[in-house]
């Protein structure tokens, strides 16, 4: 899948309370959750974010809670991928499971500024900063995780397994 959008640059340790505050967890409606994405650390983010944009962050993105509401609200807002130096582990697997493309690539993060136009080829892991012309290679996914991604998420993969039983 080819993704092309503007980068929204965030720092390190962006926690899941920052991504979606717990006061909104009394619903699991994705459109409602999307309205409050990053609200407590960047109130205007939901207004600036355009469909197809990309979040670019430093280390430990998504730390804290296991709330799947966090990747759900990012996806529902129209963000097509998150590139970070590293991801917190529960957030990482939640993204894989629900089909929000994530890429680990410290070099790319250091070379992307807020507002840069970035192209991502999720299949190859190649990240291109079209504003600067520089290209980067993200960490490849292990084969097992690729199977989940290629199946379109964990629900589809589980369906296939259950059907084969």
Q: How far apart are CA 153 and CA 155, in angstroms?
A: 6
The 51-90 site mask, x for binding other proteins (CB under 8 A), equals --------xx--xxxxxxx-xx-------------x-xxx
Which segments within 86-151 are labelled E, that is strand?
Answer: 102-104, 117-121, 126-129, 134-137
Q: Which two tokens stand for residue 29?
A: 């409606």
Closer to other proteins at the Cβ: 34 or 118?
34
DSSP state letter for 15 = B
3-state DSSP assignment of residue 18: helix
Q: How far is the CB of 164 from other proteins (least distance, A)?
A: 12
Q: Which residues bind other proteins (CB under 8 A)?
A: 13, 15, 17-18, 21-23, 25-28, 39-41, 59-60, 63-69, 71-72, 86, 88-90, 93-94, 97-98, 142, 144-145, 148, 153-155, 158-159, 161-162
């Amino acid at each position: 899948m080819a993704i092309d959008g503007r980068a929204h640059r965030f720092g390190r340790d962006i926690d899941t309370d920052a991504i979606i505050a717990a006061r909104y967890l009394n619903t699991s409606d994705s459109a409602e959750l999307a309205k409050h994405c990053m609200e407590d650390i960047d109130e205007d983010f939901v207004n600036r974010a355009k469909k197809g944009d990309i979040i670019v962050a430093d280390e430990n993105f998504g730390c804290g809670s296991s709330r799947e509401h966090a990747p759900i609200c990012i996806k529902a807002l129209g963000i097509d991928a998150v590139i970070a130096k590293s991801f917190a582990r529960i957030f990482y697997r939640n993204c894989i499971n629900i089909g929000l493309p994530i890429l680990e690539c410290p070099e790319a993060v250091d070379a992307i500024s807020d507002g840069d136009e970035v192209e991502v080829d999720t299949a190859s892991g190649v990240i291109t900063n079209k504003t600067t012309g520089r290209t980067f290679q993200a960490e490849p996914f292990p084969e097992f995780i690729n199977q989940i991604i290629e199946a379109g998420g964990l629900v589809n993969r589980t369906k296939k397994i259950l059907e084969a039983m």
